[in-house]
Amino acid sequence: MTAIALTIAGSDSGGGAGIQADLKTFSALGTYGASVLTAVTAQNTRAVTAAHMLPPELVAAQMRAVFDDLDVRAVKIGMLGTPEVIRAVADGLRGRDLPVVLDPVMVAKSGDRLLAADAVAAIRSDLIPLASVLTPNLPEAAALLDSDPAPDLETRREQGRALLALGPRWVLMKGGHADGPVCTDLLIGPQERELTAPRIMTRNTHGTGCTLSAAIAAGLAQGQDMPQAVGRAHDYLHRAIVAADRLRVGSGHGPVHHFHAWWDAP
């Protein structure tokens, strides 16, 4: 059977994050990608200049169309934007026995906000309990806990366990926003694991969160267990960041190189 993963997220017209990054990641890792669009953004490597949220009814209709026909094996959730869209997505997932990767997207790499302030509570109450794994960066974890970003690894571990108490089966605390020569992600759940990699000095990190969560979903769709899927996704993203400067896309925060194993930019 073909492994199929579904991304529910917003569109990035610059192609480096959102739906576009998710579909590239699925393809790079041998998974067929389906998509449900939640928002259209006018976006490049420098800024998000406009955004339009799709009606929750249309988001729900896209989900029904995909699930009615495709044998989806895993779902990745990214930009949702509003409480109404969050509830529509949650309603469409309830009762489905599928692994769900929830990336609580709040702010773009450019600093532009992608989630309404009143939507954080809806993510907490409606979506986190449905998640197989929650993948926040340090500011997102702090926002979900109404706390300050974790200043050290032990506080990160404590915040991860606090998020676990909200209902997901696993939490992956991403360390990209921390300081130091080594980047450490913490996988917290039935097992605990540290995933480390040398920090790469590059400005081309647009779409890293989307890419990581999509890579986890690809692994889960292929039947990997959570530690396997997270481990492969972590390694894939590290290689994509290492190769990012070869792309030379845009003049701001450029994208990672999703297809680093197959082609180079001219």
Contact in structure between 233 and 101 (CB atoms under 8 Å): no
DSSP for 222-241, written as a single string = TT--HHHHHHHHHHHHHHHH
205 in catalytic set: yes
Respond yes or no: is residue 207 known to be catalytic: yes
How confident is the prediction along the chain (266 residues), in pLDDT tens digits per residue? 899 999 999 999 999 999 999 999 999 999 999 999 999 999 999 998 999 999 999 999 999 999 999 999 999 999 998 999 999 999 999 999 999 999 998 865 555 556 777 788 899 999 999 999 999 999 899 989 999 999 999 999 999 999 999 999 999 999 877 778 889 999 999 999 999 999 998 999 999 999 999 999 999 999 999 999 999 999 999 999 999 999 889 999 999 999 999 886 44
Task: Measure the CA–CA gap between 84 and 68, rounded to whole angstroms.
Answer: 22
Write down the catalytic residue from 7, 14, 45, 210.
Answer: 210
From 16, 175, 209, 219, active-site residue:
209
Active-site residue among 207, 211, 219, 254? 207
- What is the distance in angstroms between the CA of the first residue and the CA of the last residue of the chain? 36
Question: Model-level pTM?
Answer: 0.95
208: annotated active-site residue? yes
Active-site residue, selected from the candidate residues 208, 211, 219, 254: 208
Is position 76 annotated as part of the catalytic site?
no
User: How many of the other CB atoms lie within 10 Å of CB of 196?
Assistant: 12
Nearest Cα to Cα of residue 243 among 191, 205, 187, 214: 205
Q: Which of 24, 76, 109, 174 is catalytic?
A: 174
Using CA atoms, how far apart are residues 12 and 2, in angstroms rounded to an integer? 27
